[in-house]
Structure 1
Amino acid sequence: MRILMLSWEYPPVVVGGLGRHVHALATSLVTAGHEVTVVTRHAPGAPLEEYSEGVRIVRAAEDPPLFPLATSTLLAWTMAFNHTLTRAALRAAATGEYDLIHAHDWLVTHTAVTLKECLDLPLVATIHATEAGRHQGWLPDEMNKCIHSVEWWLGHEACRVVVCSEYMRWEVTRLLDLVPGRVSVVANGVDSSVWKAPSRAVNAARARFAGEGPLLGYAGRLVYEKGVQDLIAALPELRARHNGLRVVIAGDGPHRAELQEDVRRLRLQRAVSFAGFMGEGELPALMAATDALVVPSIYEPFGMVALEGASAGAPLAVAATGGLAEIVEPGETGVTFPAKSPEALAASVGTLLEDEPFARRVAKKARTMVGRKYGWSTIAANTADVYRTAITEAPGFAARQAAAVLEHGRPQIVVPDGNLLTI
């Protein structure tokens, strides 16, 4: 198949998990024999067009009028970005043929719908998270309501919607008024080899952050919905039961100052380290050095950090919410606790700290499970299946089949790569 993929981030532009996801999916689809063009945002110093790892990358240069990428100007920036993204995508389409458009998240919706209409191609949309979900079911301001309306539009323009978990299928069908049968679940993937750190790096991370007692870890954005405040609230009880316990918080975000104030108020400054953003060069070693990686999210469409932590070999303690509840089987591949409950968090983490053989056993099972279920070759194959379904369900497919019969005189099947199979 020939896929025209749209994403507002792609290496070297990586803002969050979406950029890494699109990169891994695109390269894995190419490895499986498909042709992929990614149209994305330009980065200073990057070429406007190149082939990298088999993927054709077309980057949209920013137009001269400046719209800052900031919360207050996000909608204006998005509209300006879609103008230049559309022109770049049309240039790409002028020099290539495609079977399908795949749009990632609401920020590329205007371009996706324009291409769908201009090129008469099926549109698949991956909705990685929803605006209402990020705000615990609320749309507090006009900007949030506008984003929600764009998500609704994208969902209804696409012939297939892809989400990363059964929880997200429930969420998008409810929030966006979608028929469940049009929504396909394809999990996010992970390259397990990237998250296996050498022993010397693990020992160095342990020496840097741990004291004489156990070490807990957290990795992710510092925003309210990630629940780090509940981890901090659980520390007095955990430290009372486990002498010398320390916590390292890797990540950054707008909630950092408030979390640091929580730490000061509880007099935990010597027990909690805010390590800031850590890349893939440092994070695997930190995860492997912990006695438990805690994922206390309130809202989590999938839970990539759980896959990454399991790949690194960390015992997992996760909130039983969203996609996390589908990844971790309690007592088998980790432990779980109800979200927003510091007391339950402390109890679950305690089961890992008090029984090291159990902790290592569930960590080993989790690593094996991730390699079996969440490898990128599997995820790419599942995504390609969705593409094939989208092509056969798209308006005009029956007419194209009939035209093939008229042209060749015998019944034909037009398969996604453009070839004909005689029946």
Structure 2
Amino acid sequence: MTNGRKRRRYRIAMVSDFFYPQSGGIESHIYQLSQRLIDRGHKVIVITHAYGDRSGVRITTNGLKVYYVPFLTIYREATLPTVFSFFPIFRNIIIRERVDIVHGHASLSSLCHEAILHARTMGIKAVFTDHSLFGFKDAASIFTNKILKFTLSDVDHVICVSHTCKENTVLRAALDPQMVSVIPNAVVSANFTPAPHRRDPHHTTIIVISRLFYNKGIDLLINLIPRICALHPRVRFIIAGDGPKRIDLEQMREKHLLQDRVEMLGSIRHEDVRDVMVRGDIYLHPSLTEAFGTVIVEAASCGLYVVCTRVGGVPEVLPEYMTSFALPSEDDLVHATSRAIAALRTHRVDTSTFHEAVATMYSWTNVAARTELVYDHVSEMPTLGFVERLRRYYGCGVWAGKLFCVCVAVDYLLGVLLDWWRPVESIDVARDWPRKKMVDGEPEKNEAENRGVWGKETR
């Protein structure tokens, strides 16, 4: 019994285009949340697309099963939207694993949107987590927001990783704020411990770990590095990450002859992030848009002072004594970085307490418990009939509403065809991984929690 109620057990399918072996905040969120839900006695599987030769079914740490579906990717590891072609294999997986709740992640994930549509057609509860912020003016944002409106018209509940993200999602998808919850990201603080010894007292090292894309503020970083190096001769940079802006960074380094002061590591594994972090004194995060920023929490947990732009949900992440905020402009970032360098050199900032503070603020166990409450809520909601679903979609716009209704009707007919072509009884049911043992009403401690992020996997 927990808080006077009997804890329910769910079979949950996490669906997103973004998962390991690619590293990033969404990937880490899905993995860590899945692990903690398994610790709490639930069954969790992950459905994503194939990454290179990683396809089929893999069993990872703690019995987390991952389905790598062979689908074509088009941009930044997002699959080609097809609407209906994912339904047959998705239905097969859902029936095989006896899934109760489909939990989709990320606005730019085609698999996520299609999985929620197909899940609702099958009468399965659906939850969506938004990890990003989008605008309202440019063509790409308008298209993305319309797709989000389509998906969330029939979702049971929405989770956002910050209050700013919630406001953005409610406006983009025209949602009732009552059906949107805020549950932040977290970190496994034991995986991000400070260095046992002080860093080089004669130099200040600035760490940047990011995908090298425009929205991550890499253009600001390219202009900032030469100015900081000119103002502070004893400052060095370590940059980890990959993307289309990497060539611009390398050209900047060559142009200003900063090869000995700017080290570029390229793409790194998530389990190596801590080893890079502890080489530095300051973590620089020049992003132009950010819903949360898990890497900021990881940096603070490693004992780094954080310099970041005041955008999106970033101001909600850490207290002000751990951060130096700047506007997303070159001059303000230079000033904020210079202030941080001076604060560390004059010992006005004590970073020795950061790790313990972060450990008390962020916990994946707490995130899992709050997500479990969302599952309890949606499991008690009545299942909508086909006509009510059409009514919801019809309200999405004069032309879009009619198009959405056609898509839902075709999806429904496809579901009927699949039920005839391959009945439920003909699909083998997968055996469940042994559930966690309960100790005093709580799951037994997961020994894998403090090991590497990805752990071992088997085919």
TM-score bin, normalised by smaller chain: 0.7 to 0.9
Separation in structure 2 between the aligned mates of residue 360 and residue 87 of structure 1, nearest angstrom: 60
Aligned with 2:354 (options 361, 366, 371): 366
The structure-2 alpha-carbon separation of the partners of 1:334 and 1:362, relative to structure 1 and needing over 3 Å to count, comes to farther
Which residue of structure 2 lines up, in the alignment, with residue 356 of structure 1?
Answer: 344
Q: 2:250 aligns with which of 239, 250, 260?
A: 260
- Post-superposition offset of 1:383: 0.9
The answer for the alignment partner of 1:30 in structure 2 is 38
Match of 2:162 among 142, 162, 165: 165
TM-aligned CA deviation for residue 148 of structure 1: 3.2
The Cα of 1:370 is off from its aligned counterpart by 2.1
1:280 corresponds to which residue?
270
C-alpha RMSD over aligned residues: 3.1
Q: 1:155 — aligned with what?
A: 152
For the residue of structure 1 that corresponds to 2:325, the secondary structure is strand
Deviation at 1:273, TM superposition (A): 2.4
Aligned match of 1:102: 103
State the distance in 2 between where 1:104 and 1:124 align.
Answer: 9
Find 1:238's aligned residue among 214, 222, 228.
228
Task: Give the structure 2 partner of residue 129 of structure 1.
Answer: 132
What is the letter of the counterpart of residue 48 of structure 1? Answer: G
Inter-CA distance 53–291: structure 2 relative to 1 (3 Å threshold) = closer
Pair 1:292-2:294 in alignment: no
Once the two structures are superposed, residues 385-410 of structure 1 have per-residue CA deviations (whole angstroms, 9 ceiling, x without a partner) of 1212222344469xxxxxxxxxxxxx
User: C-alpha displacement at 1:160, in angstroms?
Assistant: 0.8
Q: CA deviation at 1:149?
A: 2.5
CA spacing shift, 1:366–1:179, aligned 2, 3 Å: farther
How far apart in 2 are the matches of 1:337 and 1:72? 28
Matches of residues 2-401 of structure 1 in structure 2 within 5 Å? 2-9=10-17, 12-14=20-22, 16-43=24-51, 48-49=56-57, 51-62=59-70, 67=72, 69-71=73-75, 77-79=80-82, 83-84=85-86, 86-105=87-106, 106-107=109-110, 108-118=112-122, 120-130=123-133, 133=134, 137-140=136-139, 145-196=142-193, 199=196, 213-266=203-256, 268-330=258-320, 332-340=321-329, 342-356=330-344, 361-395=349-383
Instruction: Evaluate the alpha carbon distance shift between residue 99 and residue 362 of structure 1 in structure 2; reply closer, same or farther with a 3 A threshold.
Output: farther
**Change beyond 3 A, Cα 1:346–1:72:** closer
- 1:84-114: per-residue Cα shift (whole Å, max 9, x none)? 4x33432233244443221112422112211
Inter-CA distance 74–314: structure 2 relative to 1 (3 Å threshold): closer
Q: 1:12-52: per-residue Cα shift (whole Å, max 9, x none)?
A: 54253322221111111010122223233345665734554
Q: How many residues align?
A: 374
Amino acid at match of 2:162: S
The one-character-per-residue Cα deviations of 1:228-271 (angstroms, maximum 9, x if unpaired) are 33234334543344222221211111122233334455554443
Bigger relative contact order (CA 8 A; separation at least 6) = 2
| 2-structure distance, mates of 1:311, 1:72 | 28
Within 2, Cα distance between the matches of 1:124 and 1:45?
30
Task: Summarize the Cα distance change of 1:71–1:241 in structure 2 as closer, same or farther, 3 Å threshold.
Answer: closer
Find the aligned partners of 2:233 and 2:161 in 1 and give their Cα distance: 39
CA–CA distance in 1 between the matches of 2:232 and 2:21? 42
3-state SS, counterpart of residue 355 of structure 1: helix
- Find the residue that maps to 1:129 and give its secondary structure: coil
Alignment partners' CA distance in 2, 1:356 and 1:71: 40
Structure 2 Cα separation of the partners of residues 263 and 44 of structure 1: 32
The whole-number CA distance in structure 2 between the counterparts of 1:310 and 1:248 is 17
Kept in 2: contact 1:165–1:187 (CA 8 A): yes
How far has the Cα of 1:298 moved from its partner?
Answer: 1.0
**For the residues of structure 2 that align with 1:299 and 1:189, how far apart are their CA atoms?**
19
Change (3 A) 1:223 1:394: farther
Alpha-carbon distance in structure 2 between the residues aligned to 1:89 and 1:253: 31
Map Cα deviations across residues 354-403 of structure 1 (whole Å, 9 max, x no partner): 23377684534432232112211111111111212222344469xxxxxx
Rounded to whole Å, the distance in 2 between the matches of 1:70 and 1:146 is 16
Deviation at 1:279, TM superposition (A): 2.0
- Identical amino acids, percent of aligned pairs: 20
Comparing 231-240 with 154-163, which one deviates more in the overlay?
231-240
- In structure 2, what is the Cα distance between the partners aligned to 1:138 and 1:267? 40
Paired residue type of 1:71: Y
The structural deviation recorded for 1:213 is 2.9
Q: Which residue of 2 aligns with 1:408?
A: none
Residue identity matched to 1:140: A
- Indicate how the Cα distance of structure 1 residues 293 and 24 shifts in structure 2: closer, same or farther if over 3 A, else same: same
Work out whether residues 163 and 182 of structure 2, in 8 Å CA contact, stay in contact via their aligned partners in 1.
yes
Greater helix content: 1
Please give the alpha-carbon distance, in whole angstroms, between the structure 2 residues aligned to 1:213 and 1:308: 22
Aligned-residue offset at 1:125: 0.6
What TM-score do the two structures reach when normalised by structure 2?
0.72
In structure 1, C-alpha distance between the alignment counterparts of 2:181 and 2:347, rounded to whole Å: 34
